[in-house]
């Protein structure tokens, strides 16, 4: 168990220095939890009491709409998944977080977060780093949905997140692009024929 938490400690230590007692606090207080494929880490409408650091697996962020599910983002190992807004303001979450495969995470409850902030003000800095990361992701989501066509978004994926194309099922990629699986096939074919010409 402790060597799994090590991934989180490594992530923290990319940003701040940790004393031995801080590492012990983290190892002793933060829980590891396993989700099966399709399990929900957070459901839209719930008030989020915890956020997650992914040790293994992947998580899909999606919105329920009247008609369909709209996928907005995918998270993989060594990243945080949350509804920051729901967590900090204790208001209903606007999105779902769902395991795409068997997924293991470190759970950070509100109590854990306060515990860390009490331990040292440097965790305040860490909180800001994480928030900045989430802001960037939201900026990307907005830009992608608002300003790009499905084909542009696919090309962006190829360039910036090739791992998504490897690891995520085609029909999920299609919901991310907002097109049918058939349209996705046509987009891929068009791009391939452009690459060859």
Pick the binder of its own copies from 19, 38, 118, 139 (CB under 8 A).
139
Which neighbouring-strand residues pair with 61?
73, 97
Sign of CA pseudo-dihedral 149, 155, 161, 165: positive
Residue 179 DSSP symbol: S
- Residue listed under structure tokens 């991934």: 7
Stretch of 29-37, 88-96, 167-175, 187-195 lying at the interface with its own copies (CB under 8 A): 88-96
Q: Is 70 in the site for its own copies (CB under 8 A)?
A: yes
Residue 58 DSSP symbol: -
Q: Which CB sits closer to its own copies, 57 or 123?
A: 123
Residues 6+ apart with CB under 8 A from 73: 60, 61, 137, 140, 141
CB of 109 to its own copies, least distance (A): 19
Pick the binder of its own copies from 19, 142, 170, 190 (CB under 8 A).
142
- Residue listed under structure tokens 């996928």: 71
Within 13 Å of residue 145, how many CA atoms lie on the same side as its CB? 14
Q: Which CB sits closer to its own copies, 129 or 191?
A: 129
Is 86 in contact with 92 (CB distance < 8 Å)?
Answer: yes
Pick the binder of its own copies from 29, 46, 78, 88 (CB under 8 A).
88
Site for its own copies in 117-136 (CB under 8 A): 121, 124-125, 127-128, 131-132, 134-136
Residues making contact with its own copies (CB under 8 A): 63-65, 70, 72, 83-85, 88-89, 94-95, 121, 124-125, 127-128, 131-132, 134-136, 138-143, 145-148
């Amino acid at each position: 168990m402790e060597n799994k938490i090590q991934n989180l400690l490594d992530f923290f230590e990319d940003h701040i220095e940790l004393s031995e007692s801080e590492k012990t606090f983290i190892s002793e207080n933060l829980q590891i939890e396993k989700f099966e494929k399709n399990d929900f880490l957070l459901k839209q409408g719930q008030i989020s009491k915890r956020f997650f650091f992914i040790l293994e697996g992947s998580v899909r962020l999606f919105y329920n709409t009247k008609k369909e599910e709209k996928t907005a983002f995918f998270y993989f190992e060594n990243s945080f998944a949350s509804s920051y807004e729901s967590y900090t303001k204790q208001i209903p979450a606007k999105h779902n977080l769902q395991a795409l495969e068997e997924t293991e995470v470190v759970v950070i409850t509100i109590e854990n977060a306060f515990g860390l902030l009490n331990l040292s003000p440097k965790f305040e800095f860490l909180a800001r780093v994480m928030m900045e990361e989430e802001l960037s992701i939201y900026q990307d989501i907005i830009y992608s949905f608002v300003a790009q066509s499905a084909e542009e978004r696919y090309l962006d994926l190829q360039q910036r997140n090739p791992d998504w194309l490897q690891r995520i099922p085609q029909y999920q990629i299609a919901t991310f692009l907002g097109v049918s699986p058939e349209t996705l096939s046509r987009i891929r074919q068009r791009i391939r024929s452009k690459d060859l010409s």
